[in-house]
A and B are shown apart, each in its own frame.
Chain A
């Protein structure tokens, strides 16, 4: 387990359960844990809930959710958010979970890349395919330039002042940063593989005006190679229909969408099988007691990567988590249809 946790914030956030991932399984885990009086905080690297349902296929219909003959990824997310509302979970969106350390009192200290620290009695990994991270173009030697000359996001615009900037891509990120950075840049080139853009038409129009007035350059082609010394990028070879062209560039921003990577969870000392986390099928617990894994990220004999399987896993995981959060408590299994105490928790009684 990594020892290099970021400095703790003034006050650690104490919670019964920390859920990593706000996709359908993470959201439903809030519900199942909530019925058992287990309070949860939810962290997700995306700026919104819903995970893949919201990020990859918000408009696509899903046909295998029990009792919902047809539902889109976004509707499913919205309905789950409505369903878990009585349990009032706290969301920490746009943050990535980094280090995890078990404390002497048995709780887990979990840090985020935003500098927050959680103290949780149980940790539920519901991270799906992993955390969404920007795609790295498979260009030779690109790693050496990352962080100094190659950036997948803009943290401080000032850092791009007077640079020779190359932005690659044809979506809103590429267009928005083209428009925002052009006034600061010494020179700016937007490179896209075709003269057709996915981004908002208004942004495309503004970009074309800048090109027409000679304030920036638009190239149709693809990146062929990077050239520089050490971590400093100096030029980029651009492959176009008319041949290769080498352009001067000391800041490159590639926008090729997101991919999913297991990320820092891989360093937590859990047993892994090909980037999946093996669990038992009674508790859905990982090789570390108190850390559970549900949904697409886990594996066990017969595993099916279905949302409905993740819902089932959330229910059983919650029973096991209850024994950790409330040790020694007598557990009475109850139905939401008839239990007045469950109905009270749901706010319907």
Chain B
């Protein structure tokens, strides 16, 4: 089990537990986290599960692969910390992960 905290643009946060093997997107959907839409269902084909990784966790979540980087072109207000939640696998290493949900998915 890993704890993941989702922080909304208004500062409110929700901490959920996720089984290793799930993706961060799936953990968000299972817990009805607002602002993570995942229109394509996790195929890395829509960019509507865009999140910002907390600075402290960037090394552990790693860099986006080429396909994810391409898909991030379709997200809004992309930052250096941007990732697609469907491309981050939950591991025990990520216990405590903090991500921010963007103001808008599109």
User: Which residues of A does B touch, CB under 8 Å?
Assistant: 52, 56-57, 60, 129, 135-138, 169-171, 192-194, 196, 198, 222, 256-257, 259-260
Contact = CB atoms under 8 A, between A and B. Distances in A.
B59 to A, nearest CB: 21
Contacts of A56: 40, 43, 45-46
B92 to A, nearest CB: 27
Contacts of A257: 46-47, 73-74
Contact of B77 (A129, A192, A196, A222): A222
B39 interface: yes
B106 A137 contact: yes
Contacts of A137: 76, 106
A203 to B, nearest CB: 15
B73 A193 contact: yes
B104 interface: yes
B37 to A, nearest CB: 10
B9 to A, nearest CB: 12
A321 to B, nearest CB: 29
B19 interface: no
B70 A60 contact: no
Nearest to A135: B106
B61 to A, nearest CB: 19
Nearest to B37: A259
Chain A facing B: main interface SS: loop
Given A137-B106, A193-B73, A198-B73, 12 more contacts: A56-B40, A57-B45, A135-B74, A138-B76, A170-B73, A193-B78, A198-B70, A222-B76, A222-B78, A256-B73, A256-B74, A256-B76
Given A56-B40, A260-B39, A138 B106 contact: yes
Contacts, number: 46
A222 B70 CA distance: 15
A135 B60 CA distance: 32
Interface in B20-38: none
Chain B facing A: main interface SS: loop
A57 B42 CA distance: 11
Interface residues of B, number: 17
Interface in B57-93: 69-70, 72-74, 76-78
Given A137-B106, A193-B73, A60 B39 contact: no
A192 B40 contact: no
Nearest to B47: A257
B106 A169 contact: no
Contacts of B43: 56-57, 60
B41 to A, nearest CB: 8
A194 B78 CA distance: 10
A171 to B, nearest CB: 7
A259 B46 contact: yes
24 contacts: A57-B43, A57-B45, A60-B43, A135-B74, A135-B106, A137-B106, A138-B76, A138-B106, A169-B73, A170-B73, A193-B73, A194-B69, A194-B73, A198-B70, A222-B77, A222-B78, A256-B73, A256-B76, A256-B106, A257-B46, A257-B73, A259-B46, A259-B48, A259-B106
Contacts of B104: 138
Contacts of B39: 129, 259-260
B73 A192 contact: yes
Nearest to A60: B43
B31 to A, nearest CB: 19
A136 B39 CA distance: 15
Contacts of B40: 52, 56-57
A143 B89 CA distance: 37
Contacts of A256: 73-74, 76, 106
Contacts of A170: 73
